[in-house]
Chains A and B, each alone.
Chain A
Amino acid sequence: MKDARLLFDRVWKKFHRGQIHDSLRDLIPALARQIVGRGASDKELSEGDFWAVRDLSFEVRAGQTLGIIGPNGSGKSTTLKMLTRIMQPTRGYSEATGRIGTLIEVSAGFHGDLTGRENVFLQGAIMGMPKKDIIRNFDQIVDFAGIAEAIDTPVKRYSSGMNARLGFSIAAHLGPDILIIDEVLAVGDMSFQERAFGRIRDLANSGIPVIMVSHQLDRIAELCTDCILLDRGEVVARGTAAEAIAAYVQSHDASRMVESTGIVMFDTLELEGSGIVRSGDHFSVHITGRTSVELGDHIEPILVRVRSMRTGTLVFVTGSKWRDFSLPGPGPFDVCLQLQANLPPGSYMIEVAAEDLNLHEDIASATSVMMRVTDARTFAGHIQMNAGFSVNGA
């Protein structure tokens, strides 16, 4: 389908906190209240209501992949439920043109007493896959899930990993016009996760509109052309994946962002180039700021931390003092930091701060920048050990 697209136009969604009357016993008081006129209209909030999504708009066309990120309860899954028509917006307009493939709760339709084979047909039908497509893709689905020998065993005897793998495999072979993905990348073991992600990447690269919710920011950074950051239903940041992720990490690390004490202040932190670096390449970071006094020995003015977005851990820390570099006297400074990306492919945050070495506290911090390291096919693993090969005796 050529003009497949996802559209959200000023969508609002209201939820009710707490109990809704759901037994006949509660009906009479509820009706009485409505007759008296205390029932709220659709448009306003009454007691206990809240907006799960507020005024959200976007459009995803062919070739675009939109990521939605944000903390728990920010409205990400609600947004997807409205796109898939499971829920309707309270206000605004939501539309998905084309056959929707969802990678959400991929084994929701399974019945434990049925065999894997029977469940493939059942789940496929629930997801809207025509029968002939299921028959045609059946072998592929089973192969991809890697459960060929268990396909005629009831699903209740499957391990949870097998269950999830089969579910993912069915959903991933739907052949959709539009793909909607919600946090399914954490399925199965490591090798299956890699295969699953590869499958998603293939689907996204096939040019269909894709929308994706995930807490694995490096996956978002790798797949998404665009990204929206939501918080409590509201758009906090929108733009490229790098921009939105940077905004998220910064809001997330608000505790790490320290109010400058005035001794050191950072103005800008910029990555030279596009923010995409090949593994093993050199790149530079541009840091500007000011110092107000002569810095004592206990102040580290430029501490650099590189954080892996996949794991959230620091992979590299260095500082100007460690490298015997000192800033020229009080006043503005403009520093160029050279680094080599001896890192495996993935997304990384570069954080810059000034630290009081006696107190072990940051006394100033710059806004972080994100960079992506792409594969140069020189090594695999966690670090670059600069391997050298030579023939003995030569």
Chain B
Amino acid sequence: MTSVEPERRNSGAAVRDPRVGPPPEIRPTLLEDLRQIVTDIRWSKHLIYQLTLRDIRVKYKQAVFGFAWALLIPIAVVGAGLAVRFAIAFYSGKGLALGQVAGMAVKAVPWAFFVGCLNGATPSLVSNVSLVTKIYFPREVLPLSTILAQSFDSLIGALIVVSILPFLGVTWSWPLLWAPVLLIMLWVLSLALGLFLSCANIFFRDVKYLVQVFLTFGIFITPVMLDASMYGPKGSQIMMLNPVAPILEGLRLSVVHHHNLLTPRMAPDGFIFWRPWYLAYTALWAFGGLVLGALIFHRSERRFAELV
């Protein structure tokens, strides 16, 4: 007991009503909200880094597979695709070209990334309940950091795919420069959906299961194992309405077939299945979705702690 008597005396001053006048009504405009989101995220760079690091560390720390995890889903997708393609090739009697395998390999990692992002980001707020209800920080960092951790995973997968592509007959050409553009669009689209779905999952807990079902069956309505052109003239057009489809098909066309995406592309059966405006359509989904998702997230953010 070596306490020293503090110099401060009881005053009672702090409990007098401050009554600073009517509380200011704060109704920020959409633009102000967006600016706020950007400021919040810029201020939280270190937090985002730490949370991403946490997700990566936790995943790899006690995993027997280690970094092979990053490849598991892409390899499974390519393997399943090979089986399907082999059956089709056998049935039609056309044989399986090396380019088709390359096309699948190129699409498998981005698809695995998309699936991983949505599966990770959707429950990100609910599973961090102890943080959300106890400590204040911009909530956007939670879905954002799961997507960054997933990006790290997929980067490893992508590097491995890139290193084996030359053996599958892929060579350098200028249309390859489309690949980063498409990957950025995919990243933005994943973030947009991640923000929206993580927020929706707080309000309705069954969103998580809904997302899982959609992603399980999504592979059949997205040209991952098959190419869009294999669905016929009408079918390919409907398929391309799925915002992920133009990204994956664009990757295949630019990387494997050296096709400039600003020009239409004919299928072997003589119909156009790639149209340049698909790019604009997907970009609208991605960037429009990001703005919308961020706004919805930001506006409902203040209720998270009560609902989680």
List A residues at the B interface (Cβ < 8 Å).
Answer: 7-10, 15, 20, 22-25, 27, 57-61, 63-66, 81, 84-88, 92-93, 100, 102, 104-105, 108-109, 111, 113-114, 118, 121-122, 125-128, 130-131, 201, 204-205, 222-228, 238-243, 344-345, 374-375, 377, 380
Q: Considering the chains assembled together, what is the distance between the CA atoms of A391 and B305 in angstroms?
A: 67
A239 near B137 with CB under 8 A, answer no
Binds A, one of B177-185, B203-211, B287-295: B203-211
Tell which of B16, B46, B210 touches A125, judged by Cβ atoms closer than 8 Å: B46
**B47 interface contact, C-beta 8 A:** yes
* Further contacts, 12 of them, CB under 8 A, given A86-B132, A104-B135, A241-B10: A9-B20, A22-B203, A66-B14, A87-B302, A104-B134, A108-B135, A125-B50, A130-B46, A225-B10, A226-B12, A345-B1, A380-B1
Residues of A within 8 A of B16 (CB): 59
Tell which of B4, B15, B18, B306 touches A226, judged by Cβ atoms closer than 8 Å: B15
A225 near B205 with CB under 8 A, answer no
B131 near A25 with CB under 8 A, answer no
A205 near B6 with CB under 8 A, answer yes
**Given A22-B205, A225-B8: A58 in contact with B57 (beta carbons within 8 A):** no
Residues of B within 8 A of A64 (CB): 11, 13-14
Within 8 A of A (CB), among B271-306: 302-303, 305-306
**B62 interface contact, C-beta 8 A:** yes
Tell which of A60, A109, A130, A227 touches B135, judged by Cβ atoms closer than 8 Å: A109
Q: Which of the listed residues B10, B23, B203 has the most CB atoms from chain A within 10 Å of its own CB?
A: B10
Chain B interface residue number, banded: 35 or more
**B51 interface contact, C-beta 8 A:** yes
**B307 interface contact, C-beta 8 A:** yes
Least CB separation from B207: chain A residue:
A24
Tell which of B6, B50, B62 touches A122, judged by Cβ atoms closer than 8 Å: B50
Expressed in whole angstroms, the minimum distance between the Cβ of A55 and any Cβ of chain B is 10
Q: Considering the chains assembled together, what is the distance between the CA atoms of A26 and B134 in angstroms?
A: 27
Q: Considering the chains assembled together, what is the distance between the CA atoms of A121 and B53 in angstroms?
A: 10
Least CB separation from A377: chain B residue:
B2
Tell which of A60, A93, A128 touches B23, judged by Cβ atoms closer than 8 Å: A93
Expressed in whole angstroms, the minimum distance between the Cβ of B49 and any Cβ of chain A is 7
Expressed in whole angstroms, the minimum distance between the Cβ of B89 and any Cβ of chain A is 42
Q: Considering the chains assembled together, what is the distance between the CA atoms of A375 and B307 in angstroms?
A: 48
**B133 interface contact, C-beta 8 A:** yes
A58 near B54 with CB under 8 A, answer no
B14 near A113 with CB under 8 A, answer no
Q: Considering the chains assembled together, what is the distance between the CA atoms of A380 and B2 in angstroms?
A: 9
Expressed in whole angstroms, the minimum distance between the Cβ of B83 and any Cβ of chain A is 35
Within 8 A of A (CB), among B166-204: 203-204
B10 near A205 with CB under 8 A, answer no
B57 near A113 with CB under 8 A, answer yes
List B residues at the A interface (Cβ < 8 Å).
Answer: 1-20, 23-24, 46-47, 49-51, 53-54, 57-58, 61-62, 130-137, 203-207, 210, 302-303, 305-307
A interface: dominant SS = mixed
Residues of B within 8 A of A81 (CB): 305
**Given A85-B136, A242-B10: A27 in contact with B19 (beta carbons within 8 A):** no
Residues of A within 8 A of B12 (CB): 225-226, 238-240, 243
Q: Considering the chains assembled together, what is the distance between the CA atoms of A57 and B23 in angstroms?
A: 12
Can you list 12 A-B contacts (CB < 8 A)? A9-B20, A60-B14, A93-B24, A108-B131, A108-B135, A111-B58, A126-B50, A224-B10, A226-B12, A226-B13, A241-B10, A375-B3
Tell which of A100, A226, A374 touches B5, judged by Cβ atoms closer than 8 Å: A374
7 interchain residue pairs of minimum CB distance: A93-B23, A240-B10, A125-B50, A59-B18, A226-B14, A238-B15, A105-B134
Q: Considering the chains assembled together, what is the distance between the CA atoms of A167 and B54 in angstroms?
A: 17
A122 near B51 with CB under 8 A, answer yes
Q: Considering the chains assembled together, what is the distance between the CA atoms of A226 and B16 in angstroms?
A: 10
Residues of A within 8 A of B49 (CB): 125
Residues of B within 8 A of A226 (CB): 10-15
Expressed in whole angstroms, the minimum distance between the Cβ of A5 and any Cβ of chain B is 9
Q: Which of the listed residues B10, B15, B132 has the most CB atoms from chain A within 10 Å of its own CB?
A: B15
Residues of B within 8 A of A201 (CB): 3, 6
Expressed in whole angstroms, the minimum distance between the Cβ of B38 and any Cβ of chain A is 18
Tell which of B1, B17, B19 touches A375, judged by Cβ atoms closer than 8 Å: B1
A23 near B134 with CB under 8 A, answer no
Expressed in whole angstroms, the minimum distance between the Cβ of A221 and any Cβ of chain B is 9
Least CB separation from A131: chain B residue:
B46
Q: Considering the chains assembled together, what is the distance between the CA atoms of A125 and B306 in angstroms?
A: 23
Residues of A within 8 A of B207 (CB): 24
B14 near A61 with CB under 8 A, answer yes
**Given A20-B307, A122-B50, A125-B46: A7 in contact with B20 (beta carbons within 8 A):** yes
Residues of B within 8 A of A88 (CB): 302-303
Least CB separation from A154: chain B residue:
B61
Least CB separation from A105: chain B residue:
B134
A87 near B305 with CB under 8 A, answer yes
Tell which of A222, A239, A345 touches B15, judged by Cβ atoms closer than 8 Å: A239
Q: Considering the chains assembled together, what is the distance between the CA atoms of A20 and B134 in angstroms?
A: 20
A344 near B206 with CB under 8 A, answer no
B130 near A108 with CB under 8 A, answer yes
Residues of A within 8 A of B305 (CB): 81, 86-87
Least CB separation from A221: chain B residue:
B10
B14 near A58 with CB under 8 A, answer yes
Residues of A within 8 A of B3 (CB): 201, 222, 345, 374-375
Least CB separation from A59: chain B residue:
B18
**Given A92-B23, A102-B135: A126 in contact with B206 (beta carbons within 8 A):** no
Expressed in whole angstroms, the minimum distance between the Cβ of A375 and any Cβ of chain B is 5
Least CB separation from B58: chain A residue:
A113
A10 near B57 with CB under 8 A, answer no
B130 near A128 with CB under 8 A, answer no
Q: Considering the chains assembled together, what is the distance between the CA atoms of A100 and B24 in angstroms?
A: 22
Residues of A within 8 A of B19 (CB): 9-10, 57
A10 near B23 with CB under 8 A, answer yes
Least CB separation from A109: chain B residue:
B131
